[in-house]
Amino acid sequence: MAIYALVCLGPAAHVYSCAGDKKQASIVFDEAKRMVRADPELAGIIRVQRWHLEGPEDSIYRVLSADAELQQGLNPSFVIFDEVHVQPNGDLWDAMRFGMGARPNPMMVGITTAGFDRTTLAWDLYEQGKRGDIYFWWSEPKDPNCDWMDHDAWAQANPALGDFLYEATLYEDADGDAKHESGFRRYHLNQWTTTHSAWLPHGAWADRAVVRPFNPETPFVAFADGSWSNDSTGLVAATLTDYHLSVLGHWTPDPDLGHIDMGKVEQRIREVLAMPGCKGLAFDPAFLADLFARLEAEFNLNGRELIVKWPTNSLVRMVPACQEFYTAVIEKSLTHDGDPRLAEHIANAVLKEDRHGPRIVKEAKGSQRKIDLAVCAVGALAEAQRLGAVPALPPVSFTSFLDD
């Protein structure tokens, strides 16, 4: 397409291909050079230079990469953006778009498969296209929750299926292994996923939603996890009888304080401990050590272990807990309240597998895509399963923090 534009757009046409990085840009340009050299007619009218191609009447074709120094002052006639989803930001796109102002009929074409990062240029363009703000053609299954192994969904997302795209290729790439589902949905079904490699199968979590009011008198155990300044802090309950998960609290850093208001966290935890159905509170003391020490000293009296230390960095605990949670979702032995915050954190969780076993982690250490509520849900279910297997302790009453 770029070479056609170089030859046909007329005098002094400036044609650009934009790639995500220098390596990809080099691949694109090398392919363009090979095309020219392989065709005697093209080779007769296009001169191959080291970093660009020169066409008739001073027309020129270059490949730009997003990680090169941003080229301002360009005057594009025609731009092809390849694999928009790998663009690190919208700077190069904007440079091309704003540089077209002096051209009578400029055009920019973005080509991409779906991605997983919804803070990117590609996602912004996808949303604009869905709203009808830009010309947009996107091939994807009609049902966003379709079975990823459904042949009809394959056909809807791939107009070339059976032509130059072979079914055998898709079967080989899918191979029925659930850990390949996220990649398959992006690259073959053109569906946006929430992470590079999802923990749970697509739609499995949403399928377990049962919206019902939280009953503080129903026997339950709660789990708290979080941090002081970076990640969020969460509080999730799991009933002992039917393993229903409910979000009882979620806190993010206060912009005025620069950290989470731990007074609000403690107040809510004490309210939960005062509920007649509360049979225990487990939490990771790593970032909540002072709070844990106070509650442990106050509530773990006379041999009663109401406050339980549950370090989430303990692989002996976390690996089997994640496995049990996954099994409970797949076998439909748990339900949840449909809280969108929990759904987001579940979707953000990725599976890490090594010699210690599989467990959930953030996609990257510094990622802003939080999983704290997902960790709370895993811990809450583990504690509910543990407490459900031992004799119930006699009830005890507590004074609410609000009455102090």
Per residue in 253-291, pLDDT (tens digit) is 888 877 888 889 999 999 999 999 999 999 888 777 888
d(CA 162, CA 393): 64
Residue from 104, 148, 110 nearest 129 by CA: 110
For residues 296 and 404, which has the higher predicted lDDT (pLDDT)? 296
CATH code of the domain containing 48: 3.40.50.300
Residue 174 placed within a domain: no
**Which of 88, 105, 131 delimits the end of a domain?**
131
Q: Is 32 exposed, middle or buried (0-12, 13-18, 19+ CB in 10 A)?
A: buried
Which CATH number characterizes residue 365's domain? 3.30.420.240
pLDDT in tens, 333-359: 999 999 999 999 998 898 887 888 888
pLDDT at residue 45 tops 60: yes
**197 neighbors 182 (Cβ within 8 angstroms):** yes
Average pLDDT of span 38-59: 89
Place of tokens 């409910």: 246
**Does 293 map to a domain?**
yes
Do 257 and 123 lie in a common domain? no
> What confidence score (pLDDT) does residue 153 get?
92
Helical axes 372-387 vs 340-348, angle rounded to 10°: 100
Same domain, 224 and 354: yes
Residue 392 pLDDT > 70, yes or no?
no
What is the dihedral angle through the alpha carbons of 162, 165, 170, 173, rounded to the nearest 10 degrees? 160
> How many independent structural domains does the chain possess?
2
Residue 156 belongs to a domain: no
- The pLDDT confidence band at residue 226, using thresholds 50, 70 and 90, is confident
Do residues 270 and 366 both lie within one domain? yes
Domain co-membership, 127 together with 210: no
Q: Which of 131, 165, 190 represents a domain boundary (last residue)?
A: 131
| Residue 106 structural domain | 2-131
Residue among 46, 48, 58, 52 at smallest CA distance from 25? 52
**Residue 374, pLDDT score:** 95
Mean pLDDT of the chain: 86
Contacts with 251 (C-beta within 8 Å, 6 or more apart), sequence order: 226, 232, 233, 234, 260, 261, 264, 265
Do 242 and 359 share a structural domain? yes
Residue 82 pLDDT > 70, yes or no?
A: yes
What is the pLDDT, as a whole number, of residue 398? 41
Q: Do 105 and 240 have their domain in common?
A: no
CB atoms within 10 A of CB 326: 19
Do 236 and 333 sit in the same domain of this protein?
yes
Residues 215 and 311 reside in one and the same domain: yes
- Out of 97, 131, 165, pick the residue that ends a domain: 131
d(CA 372, CA 232): 6
* Cα–Cα separations (whole angstroms), residue 171 to 35, 157, 177, 184: 32, 15, 11, 10
**Residues 6+ away with beta carbon under 8 Å from 132:** none
The answer to whether residue 374 is domain-embedded is yes
Is residue 103 in a domain?
A: yes
Within this chain, do residues 19 and 123 fall inside the same structural domain, yes or no? yes
Q: Which of 222-226, 236-240, 297-301, 358-362 has the lowest mean pLDDT?
A: 297-301
